Amino acid sequence: MSISIRRFPYPFQAMLAICSDLDGTPDGHVYFSMMRYLNTFEDTPFGSGIGLEIGNSIYFNVASPQFCYWNTSDVGRAMARRLIRSGHIDCLHSFGSRATTRADAARALEELEKHNCLLQVWVDHAKVPTNFGSDVTAGTGDIPGSLAYHADLTTSYGIQYVWRGRVTSIIGQNIQRNFRGIASIAHPLASCKTLVKEFAKGLSSSTQYTMNRNNELIRNTYLRNGSKVKEFLRFNPYWGGINIGATADILPEVLTTRTLNWLIKKEGCSVLYTHLGRAIDPQHPFSPRTKVSLSLLSEYTTQGKILVTTTRRLLDYCLAVKKVQFSVSPLKEITRIDITKDQTDPPLDGLTMYVQDPARTKVYMNNCEIQNLQKNAPDHTGRPSISLPWQKLTFPPIEEVPHA
């Protein structure tokens, strides 16, 4: 039997990141309570946590009274830094609507670097000046000489992945484009409109829809200053339209058994476009129905069906699986797998390989044997496998958090 890479870490059959733009989050107290509810099993102001792994985004200058790095208190800033270092804040959502110059960007990046806080994912916000997009999220952040030019600073700081407004209704990327899951019998007109819109993106020859046409999650591309980046696509399959579906209140219509089962059936990986702070009651963004849908997702993870993780980790994983180089030496008693990995390559956490006999397989990374190799029973395909461990991020203990 030949050795092959399993699409997802064992035993999962799909992967999902909930990539939430923080727009509308009123303050540090709500921001932190949301994070704790999503990422721990602790008692929180929103009820018992659901223990998933869901990241968040941050920006620096926006109009008060919304949560952002410079508007919040010292306590709020320390909390944000702690969550960046733990990996739970993983996206820079532009520098904010009030950041208009290179100096604004430089000040934010200096602050992050001073505190050893690395963010690798950039997500454009609305149509603010520091954006990288040229169409949907038009900005001038990557045009040398413009007032808001910062792409050189931001990429040397560490941003690798960028989102420039590319969205799709299709459930599951890196698989064949399929329109199932968008149409809703209960809402024939509205869902038909959403479907036609997505269908048209596939027919259009515009470069704006290249990622839609290929249904690709990540692609190599360049910013307008020549910086090489990886651009990613987000999805939201709401029948009433992507933008309307991207809120906490509509989440129950998005995280349905139909969506989740389809993602599994097609073995897709996807990054959800949403704003978890956008709700009718911003002080309590998770309605009872929203909580039910989040609990449903949590069950799918506990049952080993969908691996839910942060945007950065999902993108890293998809890239790592594509890039990984290995060789196989069948020895007398064992099979030896040698993986070569550069320091700049993304982490191989969770990498799973189908093998003949897990007990008789050894894996070496750059000539060092991996000691904590996980040996897996046959999965739904009937094949046994071995995995490099996938550790859940540790939610940090934070002594002082912003008051309500």
For the CB of residue 337, give the shortest distance to Zn ion in the complex, in Å.
43
Cβ proximity of 280 and 251 under 8 Å: no
Residue 173, SS3 per DSSP: strand
344 Cβ contact partners less than 8 Å away, ≥ 6 residues apart: none
How far is Cα 14 from Cα 63, in angstroms, rounded to an integer? 38
For the CB of residue 104, give the shortest distance to Zn ion in the complex, in Å.
17
Judged by beta carbon, residue 125 or residue 266, the one nearer Zn ion is 125
Task: Select from 6, 125, 234, 278 the one that contacts Zn ion (CB under 5 A).
Answer: 125
Task: Tell me, residue by residue from 249 to 288, as one string, x for binding to Zn ion by CB under 5 A and - for no binding.
Answer: ----------------------------------------
For the CB of residue 124, give the shortest distance to Zn ion in the complex, in Å.
8
Judged by beta carbon, residue 277 or residue 384, the one nearer Zn ion is 277
177 Cβ contact partners less than 8 Å away, ≥ 6 residues apart: 170, 202, 213, 215
The region of 121-129, 168-176, 238-246, 394-402 touching Zn ion under the rule CB under 5 A is 121-129
For the CB of residue 63, give the shortest distance to Zn ion in the complex, in Å.
13
Task: Tell me, residue by residue from 77 to 116, as one string, x for binding to Zn ion by CB under 5 A and - for no binding.
Answer: ----------------------------------------
Judged by beta carbon, residue 21 or residue 104, the one nearer Zn ion is 21
Judged by beta carbon, residue 242 or residue 388, the one nearer Zn ion is 242
Task: Select from 13, 19, 23, 36 the one that contacts Zn ion (CB under 5 A).
Answer: 23
57 Cβ contact partners less than 8 Å away, ≥ 6 residues apart: 19, 20, 21, 22, 89, 90, 91, 92, 93, 123
Judged by beta carbon, residue 245 or residue 346, the one nearer Zn ion is 245
Cβ-based burial of 61 (10 A; exposed 0-12, middle 13-18, buried ≥19)? buried
Chain center to CA of 396: 19
Judged by beta carbon, residue 58 or residue 307, the one nearer Zn ion is 58
E strands, 267-305, are 269-274
- 354-393 residues in contact with Zn ion (CB under 5 A) are none
Residue nearest to Zn ion (CB): 125
The count of residues interacting with Zn ion (CB under 5 A) is: 3
How far is Cα 131 from Cα 150, in angstroms, rounded to an integer? 10
Indicate left, alpha or beta for 340 from its phi (over 0: left) and psi (-120 to 50: alpha): beta
DSSP-derived secondary structure letter, 310: -
For the CB of residue 126, give the shortest distance to Zn ion in the complex, in Å.
5
Task: Select from 6, 13, 16, 21 the one that contacts Zn ion (CB under 5 A).
Answer: 21
The region of 19-27, 101-109, 235-243, 335-343 touching Zn ion under the rule CB under 5 A is 19-27
How far is Cα 34 from Cα 18, in angstroms, rounded to an integer? 13
Judged by beta carbon, residue 72 or residue 301, the one nearer Zn ion is 72
Judged by beta carbon, residue 29 or residue 234, the one nearer Zn ion is 234
For the CB of residue 273, give the shortest distance to Zn ion in the complex, in Å.
10
Q: Which residues of 233-268 are buried (b: 16+ CB within 10 A; e: fewer)?
A: bbbbbbbebbeebbbbbbbbbbbbeebbbbbbebeb
E strands, 60-135, are 89-92, 121-123
The region of 32-40, 60-68, 125-133, 366-374 touching Zn ion under the rule CB under 5 A is 125-133
Q: State how far the alpha carbon of 111 is from the alpha carbons of 8, 28, 59, 120, 133, in Å.
A: 36, 18, 12, 15, 25
* Site for Zn ion, rule CB under 5 A: 21, 23, 125
